[in-house]
Structure 1
Amino acid sequence: MDDRSMKAVLYDRYGGPDVLYVGRVPRPVPGPGEVLVKVSAFSVNGGELSARSGRLRLLLGRRFPKRVGLDFTGEVAAHGAATRFAPGDRVWGVLGRTSGFGSAAEYVTVPEERVGPLPDGLDPVDAAALPVATTAVTALRDKTGLRPGERLLVRGAAGGVGNAAVQLGRAYGAKVTGLARAANLDLVRDLGAHEAVDHRSVRPADLGRFDVVLDTVGTELRALRGLLNPGGRMVTIAFDLSRPVTSLGYIAGSALHGRGRVRFFSGDPRRADLDVLARHVAEGALRPVVDRVFPLDDTAAAHRALEAGGVRGKYVVRVAAE
């Protein structure tokens, strides 16, 4: 086998999980300020499902094949000039917005500012569930300024970002309420929520008032916004893909009308964010939650499972490099 090539998950057309396949592509070469990471594992994220299905085709275009995979854990295999990492360093990271997808592969090149040292004692497969938690840190620390004693509502509390938000909200001293499926309420409580509520058994209006609302779903934003106390803050990391124009229009208009503004953002973490994550892990405030581990050849099955809903934490794909 040509050692200048590698396995990677690809797709040649938009569609369901079955469009994914494992093919061979050239192994990347790190440039100045970049590291080449031999990937141990990556997780499956909602944004990849939207991209693969074609919901973002206006942004992504029709040039194929396309790649999947956003975050990763692994080991530095090589590096370009002027980097602080050395071959053999255990690392984790997230590809930046300009890099797109591509960590679902045996190797990936990443700018060194997108990579951080993997915390000691973390298994790299379990750790692959955590880089997305930088989004929860940004939401609670930077976007909403969550303070001790405040009431925090996390919608999607058992998901990848949601489970981290529950853990961090508790660590930050908030009174945490988690919304999730009935089957996942035990997990939400175990992660530190003071209250765990079945989202299908209660109307938003019956939940009470909150100082901070973190939404990971993107629907019912008006109802959730109505739960804010005076001075409350709300952030969402999703919007309604079935009504994107209406949904994004509501988010934009919230700055002008009614109680509280709904802030929308997508994560774009750098090394400083990963270092914060590592500190939370070291302090015992954050732990990975892995629902199931798939082999690289079954990446399509991992996408299918995430689309089915009900995930408890993250679906992780283990990469077996040759």
Structure 2
Amino acid sequence: MRAALFDSYGPPDVLYEGKVPVPTPKQDEVLVKVHAVSINGGEISARAGRVRLLTGRKFPQRVGLDFAGEITEVGPAVKGPAKGDRVWGTLPRGRFGSAAEYVTVRPAQISLAPQGISLVDAVSLPVGTTAITALRTQARLQPGERLLVRGGSGGVGSVAVQLGKAVGAHVTALASPRNLDFVRELGADEALSYTTASPSTLGTFDVILDTAGTEHAAYRRLLAPGGRMVAIAFDTKNPLPSIAYILASTVHGPRRVRFFSGNPKHDLFAELTRYVDSGAIRPVVDTVHPLSDIAEAHRAMEAGGVRGKHIVQIYG
């Protein structure tokens, strides 16, 4: 089958479309024919070699974390999912390889995909489970609270803006100048350019969702008493100070920075499906690329200024 591969760490140009065997599902797995995947920051870091202590030096390696597709085979021990189901989900933490024609996965990692949108559009949204966890579980965002979303036009940020409005919060989004109208269309009450709006000009917030990974200390000072800041990224150019600050903040001071690495399961995907089916959250697709252009998809993601997600279409 066709799959996105790379034989050495490096820039997007190391990626290519190659051939690997079709996986065989275990007794407790399903085989999914992948219609599309999205490009995520974690796989970009892995491809660039920034986490090589975890990914190792065995090549070729694969990319792709989330997926949307159709179940074509069901293991004998699987209960619930059926052949022909339209599903979405992610691979387990630490595993890449969904950018391929087929993938095997346990039912806990998937749920039925929303019915009212295409699978290509749907795959822009699995990162929405991160927004749900960040705002509902980690920050416990309440109606009427003031929410700041850094990176409001990105994959997670664009869902967080919509989710914040669905909860009933007052949403301020930071984005690039060209995306300000876009985040307003998503529901942001205020849209500010990150090139001109410094932390000192922003006021106070009850909840801050940081998808940028920089200037944690400056933004933490914007928290109102009882405020909560959730960081889902750290500074990849200077990671150690960024990580050290987040860890220290969990011990010292009343306004702690919460950090987590998503590993969504069935219930979260099912909840996200309900949000999408109700119309509270809609997919946001920047560009759809064919699998043969996997390098260009990574290159475009790294260039920044993204509106939603870059998608790689396999079938459909």
TM-score range, shorter chain: over 0.9
Pick aligned residue for 2:11 from 16, 19, 27 = 16
Which residue does 1:60 correspond to in 2?
A: 55
Q: CA deviation at 1:259?
A: 4.6
1:104 positional shift: 0.2
> Contact 2:116–2:277 (CA<8 Å) still a contact in 1?
no
Q: Distance in 1 between matches of 2:105 and 2:252?
A: 41
Shift in CA distance, 218/314, structure 1 to aligned 2, threshold 3 Å: same
What's the CA shift for 1:94?
A: 0.8
Give yes or no for the alignment of 1:121 onto 2:129: no
Are 1:152 and 1:174, in contact at CA under 8 Å, matched by a contact in 2?
yes
- Per the TM alignment, residue 86 of structure 1 is displaced from its structure 2 partner at its CA by 1.6
Corresponding position of 1:3: none
Equivalent pairs counted in the alignment come to 315
1:75 and 2:75 correspond: no
Secondary structure at the residue paired with 2:244?
A: helix
- Secondary structure (helix, strand or coil) at the match of 1:293 reads strand
- State the partner residue of 1:95: 91
How far apart are 1:255 and its partner, in Å? 2.1
Please list every run of 5 or more consecutive structure 2 residues that lacks an aligned counterpart in the other structure. Answer: none
Provide the TM-score with structure 2 as the length reference: 0.98
Secondary structure of the residue aligned to 1:36 is strand
**CA deviation after TM superposition for structure 1 residue 256, in Å:** 2.9
CA–CA separation in structure 2 for the residues paired with 1:82 and 1:194: 49
Q: Deviations over 1:168-207 (max 9, x none)?
A: 0000010000000010001100000000000111111110
In structure 2, C-alpha distance between the alignment counterparts of 1:152 and 1:318, rounded to whole Å: 34
- CA-to-partner distance for each residue in 1:33-66, whole Å, 9 max, x for gaps? 2110000000001111111001111121111111
- 2:140 aligns with 145
8 Å CA contact retained: 1:169, 1:176: yes
Give the Cα–Cα distance (whole angstroms) in 1 for the partners of residues 146 and 90 of structure 2.
Answer: 30
TM-score for the superposition, normalised by structure 1: 0.96
Q: 1 CA distance for matches of 2:253 and 2:200? A: 16
Q: Once superposed, which parts of structure 1, at least 4 consecutive aligned residues long, lie more than 6 Å away? A: none
CA distance, structure 1, for counterparts of residue 155 and residue 207 of structure 2? 19
Instruction: Indicate the SS of the match to 1:291.
Output: strand
**What residue identity is the alignment partner of 1:21?**
Y
SS in 1 for 2:275: helix
Q: Does the CA contact (< 8 Å) of 1:296 and 1:320 recur in 2?
A: no
Alignment of 1:1-322 (within 5 A): 6-83=1-78, 84-98=80-94, 100-320=95-315
AA aligned opposite 1:256: V
- What RMSD in Å do the two structures reach over aligned CA positions? 1.0
Identity %: 60
Partner AA of 1:86 in structure 2: A
